[in-house]
Amino acid sequence: MVTVKIVKDLLAANAEIALKNRELFKTKHILVINLMSSPGSGNTSLLEATVKAIGNQYRIGVIEGDIEGIADAERLEKLHIPVVQLNTKGACHIDAPMVERGLEELPLDDIDILFIENVGNLVCPAEFDCGEDYKVLVFSVTEGDDKPLKYPLMFHESTAMVINKTDLLPYLDSSLETIKRNSLKSNPKLKIFEVSTKNNYNLDSWLRWLITKLTDKRGRV
Ligand code: MG
Ligand code: ZN
């Protein structure tokens, strides 16, 4: 595993570098998902479940963004996939220059689907284009059904949302219907999946969506 320490703030160059990243992904025929979430929503668990389910048919790589530490990258590396850990050293999101640095450490010719696991934060990750094809939000039912109304940009910028930990709904006041209704207020076109990574419940539609998007992208290049 390679740990890349981000020392410079390169926000000004973001749009330009995002374009460059996107061109590179197109050349390499890689589907790129910018995975955003709150801390503790189970986004790393979703990646683990995804790799276990389709990792033998599709080559998956991960750029793992965290402020500090390598815990998530270590979890994913156990699945024998290429992983780069980005440590943002205080920055609360991943941007395009950080992704560009991470790409130098990845075997791009051997990757079909690349996930950028963003820093856990429902605010600014939505504001930064990293060159991805789609932003996908992982949202845990434990976060409360009012959150889509409090952080609308995150929901607006996402193409799809994976609602996780649905197995916990019986213990919560949160309603799945309210989460969905409030999310669609910010983004009526949001594609919604309801899963539990705890017991691999209902992952199929999420996996089918991913594979369809990969097929679409390959058809376009
Ligand atoms: Mg994580
Ligand atoms: Zn930020």
Determine the Cα–Cα distance for residues 7 and 2; give it in Å rounded to an integer: 16
Confidence bin at 10 (pLDDT 50/70/90): low
pLDDT in tens, 119-132: 999 999 999 999 99
Amino acid letter, residue 138: V
Alpha carbon of 99 to ligand 2 centroid (Å): 14
Residue 5 has pLDDT above 90, yes or no: no
Rounded mean pLDDT of 142-159?
A: 97
Contact criterion met (CB below 8 Å) for 114 and 32: yes
Contact criterion met (CB below 8 Å) for 34 and 125: yes
Contact criterion met (CB below 8 Å) for 158 and 190: yes
Residue 6 has pLDDT above 90, yes or no: no
Between 212 and 3, whose confidence is greater? Answer: 212
Alpha carbon of 115 to ligand 1 centroid (Å): 12
> Would you state the pLDDT for residue 12?
61
- 134 - beta bridge partners? 33
Contact criterion met (CB below 8 Å) for 110 and 28: no
Residue 7 has pLDDT above 50, yes or no: no
Between 1 and 192, whose confidence is greater? Answer: 192
Alpha carbon of 23 to ligand 2 centroid (Å): 24
